Structure 1
Amino acid sequence: MQTQPPSAFSHRRPSMVERRSSITAALASSTAGRVESRTATPEASIPFLAGLEKPLPESIPEEVDVVICGTGLTESILAAALSWQGSNVLHIDSNSYYGDSTATLSVNQLTTWVEKVNKGDMANYTDASLYIPNDVDLQSLQANKDFGIDLIPKILFAKSDLLSVLIRSRVYKYLEFLPLSSFHFYENDNFEKMHNTKADIFQNQSLSLRTKRNLMKFIKFALTWETQQELWAPYKHRPIMQFLQDNFKLETNQINELIFSIGLCTSQDITTPEALTRIKRFLVSFDVYGNFPVMHSKYGGCGEISQGFCRSAAVAGTTYKLNASIESYDAKTKIAKLSDNSMIKVNEKIVLSTTQKSPFTPPASFYEIRRLTVIVKKSCDEWFENGESSAIVVFPTGSLKTQNKYAVQAIIMGERSGTTIKGSTVWYLSTIETGEKGKLDLEAALETMGDSLLRESSLATLDSQSMMTSSSIRMGSEFPGNIKSEATLKYYLRVSYVQKTSIPHSDVVKPMQYRRSSVTVKEDQGGDIIFSSLPSSEISYDGIITTCKMLYEKIVGSDDDFFDVDFEDDEEAQQDETTVTSSTTVTSGGVGAGAGGNADKIDSAGLPQSSGNVIEGDIDMDDNDGAVEFADDMEL
């Protein structure tokens, strides 16, 4: 097996440890070379990860309990959970990079990936196309390591099972998280900023007093909707829109905001319980860590988090090997042959990502997500809240010129996200509409966003020259999108593709159905082979841990001890969890040790502390108390 020579380190993208702002000074103060500096443990005591921090091992074990093929997010979390439980795990990937189907790729890696998809070498990805304009220097673009394109971009709710696992497993120490509070939805040729606080609602002059009362009444109901079955039970199998009209007398635009922006639903036809579950998810996540409900990881999404769990798994004893796949498996002898002719006895199970090379036929994936990613040559600060570098833009049903049947959702990442260069922004658009119609919907959404942004920029420039006003107009509650600009949106690249999954689009709020659809056991191999599905169309990470626990249960027998670990630094870790949940700074730099944070000091876990905008006391991640104050009664 080939190992990476030390000289190659100077050309690769910096590791997560090197990018952590909280230990940058410690690394910079070392007089040793780059390779030598990694042999010293930084102040935050972050251990090495075999295959990420140093060359891969020369050999692999002859016998293991579990072989996991694919270093995607689900498989990486599983590897860490099994390793800390005591299983001997071999974790391989047929790619030369970590992340598999959920990787964060450089432009050069993305180019190769598109070629593999179109050759049929990447199962469950189809119809990939990459376009780079002629005025872009292709060689410089591919050589630039500052671009990080997520194949499956996602956001993290402040109250979610993944965040709970990140804290419990201590993997959050390897990552940086930034806040996201800017949500916009497009309706009646306008982009409207979502009203997500009491202040927003009551200061909005466009809402009548009765509408404000009804909105607050609904929000209070939504926080405890499960206990008020007499109200929603008659609508159990009926659309949420009808429920909101009948019981809370809300108007269409308020309903669309609740369904598509707060609930992040993809259709008006979503049933009442499903929509209420999604809306409550947003409400209980608000004000947990600050004045925002959602976060995103810096330097990439799924790919970055998966590397964090791979690091944790390696610390617990998992062996890693890239550019490796399973060539054959004998269910009688339980011997697996790898692509380098290694022979390994597998005592328990083999877990396979459906995108990995293997001699087994993966299960069919019937559900499609069409994706369009564009790196725009513009900072797009108009979309962001002050101090932030990300936003969500939603196009509800029927809002586009294509009369879209399903919502188009867009995640916008600016330069402070660590995934693009200065003066540019990454736009991730997606829809569950299939075929040519899905492609047209995404193009229409892209055109609308581009025209509106260019028009706003033109107005800002005009104002600064003729009226001496601010050179950057903030996007108000209404931002006209129907006035065309003569300018043309410029970009570095566009990539589009179709991702397939076996998980139905609505199953993220149906845990039992989600468990059944996300895991497939190959009975013809004695039950030894288990396939994990690609993530669902859900824009958040919700559902990922459900899949991981299902896989864990198939191997161990129960998920009762999933990440139930007594770490050696357990007392310190408990303090860290309290710090994360009760003393995390809410600044323009974000949550965790963000480079742009304005924290007064950094604690031993690399987390900034501040007296402003923090949660008092420890938070039980399973409680629903994060946003109760949001819906307190108010005198009108």
Structure 2
Amino acid sequence: MEETTSYPSIEPSNFDLIVVGTGLPESIIASAASAAGKTVLHLDPNPFYGTHYASLPLNDLVSFLESQSGPQSQPPETSSDHASISLVTRPLYSALEINTYSSEPIDNSRKFNLDLAGPRFFFCSDSIIDLILKTGINQYMEFKSVDASYVSDAEGKLENVPDSRSAIFKHRSLSLSEKNQLMKFFKLVQGHFGNESEEDKIPEQDLESPFVEFLTKMGLSQKLKSIILYAIALANYDQDNLEVCKDIINTKSGINHLALYHSSIGRFPNANGAMIYPIYGQGELPQAFCRRAAVKGCIYVLRMPVVAVLMDKDDGTYKGVKLVSGQELFSPQLIVAPSFTFPSTLGPSPAQVANSCDAKEKVARAICIAKKSLKPEVANCLVFIPPRSLYPEQITSIRVLQLSGNVAVCPSGMFVTYLSAMCGNVEEGKKLINAAINALFSLPTPGNSEKSAADSLSEHIEEKPRLLWNALYIQELTTGSFDSISRTMMPDEHLDYNNLLDATEKLFREIYPNAEFFSVTTLSDENLDDGGSELDP
């Protein structure tokens, strides 16, 4: 361990809020609190911003996943004026598998910016985009369009998602009847949100019914229902099997998703479709909020572990934190990243927290690296694999996001593909992800990672990209909690940030009920070009 004297002394020693971890929820709250005039200290034991929302070079990502896959604890500390209870880091990742399918190392591994929480993107009309514009942090970020969306079958065959009038007309596998059905349905949804009379509104009883039932009532084919449910409304679970579906989407929620999707198309002049992605990775988002917080006076210190929480010796209430340097700092409120457990006097014991996490649902994630696109001539795209597409027991949708070097997440000529799926346990998660990888990629024969002569000769006609490297891991899904010590949530299973942003704003308002959650920015630079999508509607 480094000598205590190598850590900087932090002045002052009293703050309105101390935040540990620079993940997205922590960074948003630190920025909002700083904008509201609060004194904020933002600490992170890591040498990088983003924590569980970071984008990291290849080797750093593996090291972080390994470090967060087992429990870590500090011995109890003592304090002359306060009781001191050590923090415990709980494991939030498990079943980490790293596979290399090439005898040669990946070139320029430092040029990768890999998302820990992928796949994830922004709808152009997302609430998070509205917040980016409101706060002015768009001056710190650049974006590219996600070029296309596809639905995949068990063989990895990709078909375009008909998400607009022109896409419907161009779609080759839809019958004329299906095209008319889809056009009629989109027109119905548009009328519901338009200024038409009440007669054009969808009846209330239909809005509360399961979305899949409403789609059936509208006469849509099974193929169209699957596209709408899983590639546009982004349903997680098999909506046709109510016995296994843990999240039934009602019609109101479903058409709200459609409205968000359609309102995102054309919002920004240089965005080709409904979705955009930040250049250099999702980790740019928490960094942008941190930069805004710093402008407003927030103090940042990386590589600074918090080893203990300071408690009042008489009533056991929270008073402050003790740093690895030995320095004690004080605040009425503390926010910690989800990898930290609360001391037993403030909530569940570390063992209880670990046990409760094991009982909750998880999300299986994977990162794949290849030198060929899933779809020729397409750089950045989404792929959806609906339930039961790969095998009969598949009850959740699998989401896939492919990114290229043009968003600076990998060297030019390479492609990074993220996969995720909800799962109840490790075995289910690994089965889902491996089945999707086998459908989308070409893997070498077991026991022989080298190219054979036949492989080399046939590579020019091979449809699937050859997998060079992948990582698979299971992530716990944890929610936040509120008290004088509050804990934020892990990245959720969704592809967007809407739920996470809602939970973060709620936490901020509970801590500061009389403060505004970001006033309109005074920053004037609102014309940042992403090289593909200007955030200037």
TM range (shorter): 0.7 to 0.9
> What residue number does 2:390 align with?
400
* CA positional deviation for 1:57: 6.1
Q: Deviations over 1:239-293 (max 9, x none)?
A: 32221111x2111111111111112212242332332222222111111114310
Output the CA distance in 2 between the equivalents of 1:486 and 1:243: 38
Contact 2:15 / 2:41 at 8 angstroms: preserved in 1? yes
> What residue number does 2:496 align with?
540
1:196 alignment partner, one of 163, 188, 206: 163
Instruction: Name the CA shift for 1:179/1:129 in 2 (closer, same or farther; >3 Å).
Output: same
> What residue number does 1:322 align with?
302
* CA positional deviation for 1:391: 0.6
> What residue number does 1:113 align with?
64
> What residue number does 1:241 align with?
212
> What residue number does 1:217 align with?
184
Output the CA distance in 2 between the equivalents of 1:146 and 1:544: 29
2:339 paired with 1:378 = no
Please report the TM-score for the alignment, with normalisation by the length of structure 1.
0.68
Contact 2:146 / 2:272 at 8 angstroms: preserved in 1? no
2:115 paired with 1:150 = yes
Q: Deviations over 1:400-430 (max 9, x none)?
A: 1364111111011111120111221111111
- Name the amino acid aligned to 1:262: I
Output the CA distance in 1 between the equivalents of 2:191 and 2:464: 49
Contact 2:149 / 2:382 at 8 angstroms: preserved in 1? yes
Instruction: Name the CA shift for 1:158/1:558 in 2 (closer, same or farther; >3 Å).
Output: farther
Instruction: Name the CA shift for 1:442/1:383 in 2 (closer, same or farther; >3 Å).
Output: farther
Contact 1:300 / 1:419 at 8 angstroms: preserved in 2? yes
> What residue number does 1:337 align with?
322
Output the CA distance in 2 between the equivalents of 1:73 and 1:486: 38
> What residue number does 2:226 align with?
256
Which stretch has the larger CA shift, 61-70 or 355-364?
355-364
* CA positional deviation for 1:372: 1.3
Output the CA distance in 2 between the equivalents of 1:486 and 1:210: 31
> What residue number does 1:627 align with?
none
2:261 paired with 1:282 = yes
> What residue number does 1:564 align with?
519
Contact 1:409 / 1:429 at 8 angstroms: preserved in 2? yes
Which stretch has the larger CA shift, 391-400 or 545-554?
545-554
Output the CA distance in 1 between the equivalents of 2:187 and 2:8: 56
Output the CA distance in 2 between the equivalents of 1:306 and 1:318: 14
1:124 alignment partner, one of 67, 92, 113: 92
Output the CA distance in 1 between the equivalents of 2:257 and 2:228: 10
Contact 2:94 / 2:475 at 8 angstroms: preserved in 1? yes
Output the CA distance in 1 between the equivalents of 2:372 and 2:464: 13
Contact 1:100 / 1:355 at 8 angstroms: preserved in 2? no
1:165 alignment partner, one of 131, 141, 144: 131
Output the CA distance in 1 between the equivalents of 2:430 and 2:53: 21
* CA positional deviation for 1:209: 3.9
1:591 alignment partner, one of 510, 533, 536: 533
* CA positional deviation for 1:115: 2.2
Instruction: Name the CA shift for 1:546/1:393 in 2 (closer, same or farther; >3 Å).
Output: same
Contact 1:413 / 1:425 at 8 angstroms: preserved in 2? yes
Contact 2:192 / 2:201 at 8 angstroms: preserved in 1? no
Please report the TM-score for the alignment, with normalisation by the length of structure 2.
0.80
Counterpart mapping for 1:422-437 below 5 A = 422-435=412-425, 436-437=427-428
SS across alignment from 2:254: helix
Output the CA distance in 1 between the equivalents of 2:318 and 2:231: 53
2:279 alignment partner, one of 289, 298, 309: 298
> What residue number does 1:595 align with?
none
Contact 1:519 / 1:550 at 8 angstroms: preserved in 2? no
SS across alignment from 2:498: coil
* CA positional deviation for 1:157: 0.6
Instruction: Name the CA shift for 1:562/1:326 in 2 (closer, same or farther; >3 Å).
Output: farther
> What residue number does 1:472 align with?
none
Instruction: Name the CA shift for 1:188/1:449 in 2 (closer, same or farther; >3 Å).
Output: closer
Which stretch has the larger CA shift, 408-417 or 334-343?
334-343
Contact 1:60 / 1:319 at 8 angstroms: preserved in 2? no
> What residue number does 2:437 align with?
446
SS across alignment from 1:130: strand
* CA positional deviation for 1:152: 0.4
- Name the amino acid aligned to 2:322: K
Q: Deviations over 1:521-576 (max 9, x none)?
A: 2xxxxx311111112100112223212211211221146x2110452x5xx35xx2
2:394 paired with 1:417 = no
Contact 1:240 / 1:268 at 8 angstroms: preserved in 2? no
2:312 paired with 1:351 = no
Which stretch has the larger CA shift, 172-181 or 396-405?
396-405
Output the CA distance in 1 between the equivalents of 2:533 and 2:373: 22
2:150 alignment partner, one of 184, 189, 213: 184
Contact 1:259 / 1:268 at 8 angstroms: preserved in 2? no
Instruction: Name the CA shift for 1:119/1:379 in 2 (closer, same or farther; >3 Å).
Output: same
- Name the amino acid aligned to 1:90: L
Output the CA distance in 2 between the equivalents of 1:257 and 1:458: 37
Counterpart mapping for 1:511-530 below 5 A = 518-521=479-482, 527-530=483-486
* CA positional deviation for 1:373: 1.1
Q: How many residues align?
A: 475
Contact 1:370 / 1:434 at 8 angstroms: preserved in 2? no
Instruction: Name the CA shift for 1:2/1:161 in 2 (closer, same or farther; >3 Å).
Output: farther
Output the CA distance in 2 between the equivalents of 1:425 and 1:488: 10
SS across alignment from 2:225: helix
SS across alignment from 1:245: helix
Contact 1:182 / 1:391 at 8 angstroms: preserved in 2? yes
SS across alignment from 1:145: helix
2:232 paired with 1:265 = no
- Name the amino acid aligned to 2:300: Y
SS across alignment from 2:224: helix
* CA positional deviation for 1:188: 7.0
Contact 1:326 / 1:338 at 8 angstroms: preserved in 2? yes
* CA positional deviation for 1:441: 1.6
SS across alignment from 2:441: helix
2:55 paired with 1:61 = no
> What residue number does 2:46 align with?
95
Q: Deviations over 1:421-455 (max 9, x none)?
A: 12211111111023312211211111111149xxx
Contact 1:62 / 1:344 at 8 angstroms: preserved in 2? yes
- Name the amino acid aligned to 2:431: L
Output the CA distance in 1 between the equivalents of 2:142 and 2:300: 24
Structure whose residues are more often helix by fraction: 1
Instruction: Name the CA shift for 1:314/1:56 in 2 (closer, same or farther; >3 Å).
Output: farther
Output the CA distance in 1 between the equivalents of 2:266 and 2:28: 27
- Name the amino acid aligned to 2:441: G
SS across alignment from 1:334: strand
Output the CA distance in 2 between the equivalents of 1:486 and 1:337: 56
- Name the amino acid aligned to 2:179: K
Contact 2:20 / 2:335 at 8 angstroms: preserved in 1? yes
Instruction: Name the CA shift for 1:214/1:354 in 2 (closer, same or farther; >3 Å).
Output: same
Output the CA distance in 2 between the equivalents of 1:406 and 1:325: 39
- Name the amino acid aligned to 1:78: I
* CA positional deviation for 1:495: 1.1
Q: Aligned-residue CA RMSD in angstroms?
A: 3.2
2:475 paired with 1:499 = yes
